[in-house]
Amino acid sequence: MKTLVIGASHKPERYSYKAVKLLQQYDHEVIALGRKARKVEDWEIIEGKPDLKDIDTVTLYLSAANQEEYYDYLKDMHPRRVIFNPGAENRELARILKENGIKTEESCTLVLLGTGQF
């Protein structure tokens, strides 16, 4: 299952960083997308809006105010689901995604992984 983390950080104390590491531990294929491309330990953060295929899950770590530039990107990517982590809740984007057949949920990726619900 391929997962895209949007809002990925290189800082170990950030939840997006922890999500990338935990997804890797659970053997998920992870793509980390952030503001600035950089190498982080044994993984990389990419930037921009690359043309990605076969994304099952997108997990968002951006505030609603920083998500607008990704509306069309997410809609066109058409993942199976988008997870709005705490602080990333966005009714408008959730509505747009649902209207385009994309499942949404307000949840915590770390909790979902830790409880076997991911």
Q: What is the pLDDT of residues 25-76, one digit of tens each?
A: 999 999 999 999 999 988 999 999 999 999 999 999 999 999 999 999 999 9
3-state secondary structure (DSSP) of residue 11? coil
Q: What is the pLDDT of residues 81-101, one digit of tens each?
A: 999 999 999 999 999 999 999
Sorted by sequence, the CB contacts under 8 Å of residue 110 that are 6+ apart come out as 15, 18, 19, 22
Give the single-character DSSP code of 69: G
How many domains does the chain fold into?
1
Give the pairing of strands 38-40 and 43-46: antiparallel
Question: Which backbone phi and psi does 87 adopt, to 5 degrees?
Answer: 95, -10
CATH at 6: 3.40.50.720
Which residue segment(s) compose the domain that 95 sits in? 2-114
Closest CA to 7 of 79, 114, 18: 18
Q: How confident is the model at residue 1 (pLDDT cuts 50, 70, 90)?
A: confident
Reported pTM: 0.96
Compute the mean pLDDT over every residue in the chain, rounded to the nearest whole number: 97
